[in-house]
Amino acid sequence: MASSIGNAKSAFIRFENITKQFHEGDRERAVLQGVNAEIARGEFVAIVGRSGSGKSTLLNLLAGLDTPTRGDIFIGDVNIAKLSDHARTLFRRKHIGFVFQFFNLIPTLTVRENVLMTAELAGWQDSDAQAQANRLLDAIGLRERANVFPDKLSGGEQQRVAIARALCADAELILADEPTGNLDAETGAKILELLITLAHEKNKTLVMVTHSSDVAEQADRILRMEDGKLVSDVSSVKISRDTMTLGT
């Protein structure tokens, strides 16, 4: 099982003066500019903003897929911004689950093998990993399709498998990048409900990037990005669409 990190009484995640710059020819472009934010353990936080506002970059930094130009990112007591590439990979395997918009299932692996992958990479015993995978396949209603390959599944079914994969290693932090953006409205609503329910049942911290006001309104808090800066932090699930100003 994944080990616990951090203290339940303190902020689980802390962004401290995060700046991210990219080289474009002979110039540097600041995608994030001094972002500061805290997220509590067990909280569902939606990150919103127009395209290019920096929200996906912030999520990738939190996932340890990249490092900030300046600043610190604490998950529990670990500053992942200061870890080596190898150390970040090992940390991510044990503590972070990621749900992608386009599923990112491995086509040559069965449904069960895709779900098992994260637990296996995190070093779980095979019997424990198999039992966890079975529980999650039951939860997403795909136990009977465990031995089929992803190309035999609908988009909604593939995203359900992606959610189970993200949860299989019992990661404390679940990150989701537009997890319903590639689905029709009805299927997307069901997927969102499943993700939120599973995360809350297991007391996971859920951080989601979304363009959808309908999705964001279900979060405990909404962080709105604009031009690489955090411009709004609303601790309410009831917020008007005019206030959201999500853009497309």
Q: Looking at the predicted structure, is the pLDDT value of residue 45 above 80? A: yes
Q: Looking at the predicted structure, is the pLDDT value of residue 109 above 80? A: yes
User: Residue 31 falls within a domain, yes or no?
Assistant: no
Q: Looking at the predicted structure, is the pLDDT value of residue 6 above 50? A: no
Q: Which domain holds residue 166?
A: 42-67+96-244
User: Residue 23 falls within a domain, yes or no?
Assistant: no
User: Residue 6 falls within a domain, yes or no?
Assistant: no
Q: ∠ CA 63-64-70 to the nearest 5 degrees?
A: 115
State residue 143 phi and psi, 5-degree precision.
Answer: -60, -40
CATH number of the domain at 167, please.
3.40.50.300
Q: Indicate the number of domains in the chain.
A: 1
User: Residue 33 falls within a domain, yes or no?
Assistant: no
pLDDT digits (tens, 9 = 90+) for 191-207: 899 899 988 888 899 99
Query: How does residue 240 score in pLDDT terms, banded at 50, 70 and 90?
Result: very low
